[in-house]
Amino acid sequence: MEESLLSKPGNYKSLVAYQKAEAIYEITYYFCNKYLTKGDRTIDQMIQAARSGKQNIAEGSAAASTSSKTEIFLKNVAKASLKELLEDYKDYLNTRNLKIWEKGSAEFEDMRKKGAEHSDAGFFMNIAKNSSDETIANMAIILLNQTDYLMFRLLERLSTDFLENGGFAERMKRMRMEYKKENASAPKKESGVNPTASTAPKAPNAFNATSGEQKHFIGEVEESKADKSALAVTDGVSQPPQVNPNISRFRRHKTTLTADEYIDGILRSDTNILGQAITMVESVRPEHHAIAQKIIEGCLPHSGKSIRIGITGVPGAGKSTFIEALGVKICDLNHKLAVLAVDPSSERSGGSILGDKTRMENLTSHPNAFVRPSPSAGSLGGVARKTRETIILCEAAGFDTIFVETVGVGQSETAVHSMVDFFLLLLVTGAGDDLQGIKRGIMEMADAIAITKADGENITRADLAKTQYQNALHLFPMPKSRWTPIATTCSSLTGAGIMNIWEMITKYVAHTNANGFFDYNRNEQAKYWLYETINESIRNSFYQNEKIIECLPDYEQKVLDNKISSFAAAHELLAKYFEK
């Protein structure tokens, strides 16, 4: 047979993707040890990602002879590791206010051409040793993007080959079937043709003179005894179904609790029941609305005894890491902390990753902490649709400190200010003009600004940014609380400045309690959410009205056909809605 059972393992060193990955590893090792502070955990993170990239390409090629699935898996791991390294280089440039070369610029096109023409590590190391950190990081970014494309094409080819030809198991079965077919069709010798011939068995078919029967052999083993031979290859078993057909017998059937049972569990500080109650409150199913309202009404008398802290910041400011660093210290002081983390929802699928818990591993496991990620579900304001109701449930469960983490700053993301007592804005150094569009919307609402990642080489830049923001805060009018906002620095990595922020929050609470603003603000917030709830209810009622559902598509088409203006169509639809 022409087909070989064991395919030759790939020569990974001949792969351009591997050569580039090796060059990236050499560059990264040099870059980290020259430009990053000794002891910075980013060094190990970047070097490990670079090593994983080249190592998994090599191991994937070595596994090619026995497992296509393993080869594809390992090369996918390599691709993901290099993608992670790409983000590390971008973060380095962004946090130090260094330039990322734009596509089409002279520097970018020159380096892209060099990357396309060369793959050996020595060539790029010569460039690195005579270049600045900005040039090396941009060179690495270009090489990583080129390698990512090469890995995509390689994985695409491997996947196609696997689908067309199968893997090692399919190859074994196919070769065995072909072998049996060839031996079954081999010519048989007639008895007595050559009386002088030896009576010893001859493969593949031999004649047994004593019994007068023709015997068939597989190799040197008689076919009738082949199943008992150590050389026998047994038929494979059929693949089991993906889902156990008997799974329904083992599935736990949830029992729906009554509103009173939910309330009792919350008041007992049962976090499992608290989580279920929050899910009920967040549900958009009409049958859950009534029980959700009863739960909120039952918990309302037990709420209002916490400090509510809103935390927002630019993407990459380290909100989740900061919350974990501060949260663990607060919990160690015997405070009970609830973290309501809001993740952005996809505009396409409507889904959310809800990955904040994975970034707060220590805090999540703390007995005094409760971390609840929720999807924004398309609501503006940077908070989930039912965040305020969730705060009430957490307070009733005995949590005396509530953190509300938003999805990231923006002009529309000020609703969180209307549900918290203290508003903390996290920023990073080098943000520059990126903040111009949000200063009036966010900064004048902030009770404090914290410059994060003030560690290593970044301490000086963080102190400078702190001074600049403190000066900017003095330009805003004095808030109603009569509290002068403060700018400070902190590091979630080293813990520097973290407890200073907590002390600042407690001073703010004491200050606003003394001048009466604390209770005044809570009352104003209750009034604000009264009107917001009315607006939301009217909106939902309008779109769920049968007459509107029936005629809305016609009005949409008329607007598209320019037969009626959008404003006239809206007025007519509202008139139909208010008709009795």
Q: Domains of the chain by range and CATH?
A: 12-169 (no CATH), 255-302 (1.20.5.170), 303-515 (3.40.50.300), 527-578 (no CATH)
The per-residue pLDDT for range 155-189, each reduced to its tens digit, is: 888 777 777 766 666 666 777 777 777 777 655 55
Confidence of residue 84 (pLDDT cuts 50, 70, 90): confident
Give residue for tokens 């004095």. Answer: 478
The CA distance from 448 to 508, in Å, is 10
3-state secondary structure (DSSP) of residue 185: coil
Instruction: Return the C-alpha torsion angle 27, 29, 31, 37, nearest 10.
Output: 170
Name the nearest CA neighbour of 427 among 487, 346, 337, 507. 487
Helix (H) or strand (E) segment spanning residue 343? strand 337-343
The per-residue pLDDT for range 537-561, each reduced to its tens digit, is: 898 889 888 889 999 999 999 999 9
Mind giving me the DSSP string for 310-329?
EEEE-TTS-HHHHHHHHHHH
Give the pairing of strands 448-451 and 401-405: unpaired
pLDDT at 392 over 60: yes
Residue 378: the pLDDT is: 46
pTM score over 0.75: no
pLDDT at 141 over 80: yes
- Fill in the amino acid letter for 366: H
Q: Is the previous residue joined to 204 through a cis bond, with omega within 30 degrees of 0?
A: yes
pLDDT at 300 over 80: yes
- Higher-pLDDT residue of 333, 417: 333
Residue 31: the pLDDT is: 92
pLDDT at 276 over 50: yes
The CA distance from 291 to 540, in Å, is 19
Beta bridge partners of 489: 451
Name the nearest CA neighbour of 114 among 142, 136, 147. 142
- Sheet with strand 448-451: strands edge to edge: 369-375, 337-343, 401-405, 307-313, 422-427, 448-451, 486-489
Helix (H) or strand (E) segment spanning residue 175? helix 168-184
Residue 347: the pLDDT is: 40
CA dist 29 to 21, 461, 515, Å?
A: 12, 25, 57
449: DSSP letter: E
Tell the burial category of 207 from Cβ atoms under 10 Å away from its Cβ (0-12, 13-18, 19+).
buried
3-state secondary structure (DSSP) of residue 398: coil
Helix (H) or strand (E) segment spanning residue 180? helix 168-184
Give residue for tokens 């990073």. Answer: 428
Confidence of residue 429 (pLDDT cuts 50, 70, 90): confident
For residue 320, give both structure tokens.
């989740």
The per-residue pLDDT for range 61-70, each reduced to its tens digit, is: 877 766 777 7
Residue 15: the pLDDT is: 86
For residue 280, give both structure tokens.
């009920």
- Sheet with strand 213-218: strands edge to edge: 205-208, 213-218, 221-222
pLDDT at 450 over 80: yes
- Higher-pLDDT residue of 280, 173: 280
Residue 399: the pLDDT is: 94
Give the pairing of strands 486-489 and 369-375: unpaired
Q: Kindly state the average pLDDT of the residues 467-491.
A: 86
The CA distance from 397 to 75, in Å, is 48
Residue 471: the pLDDT is: 81
For residue 64, give both structure tokens.
């090619």
Poorest-confidence range of 281-285, 368-372, 410-414? 410-414
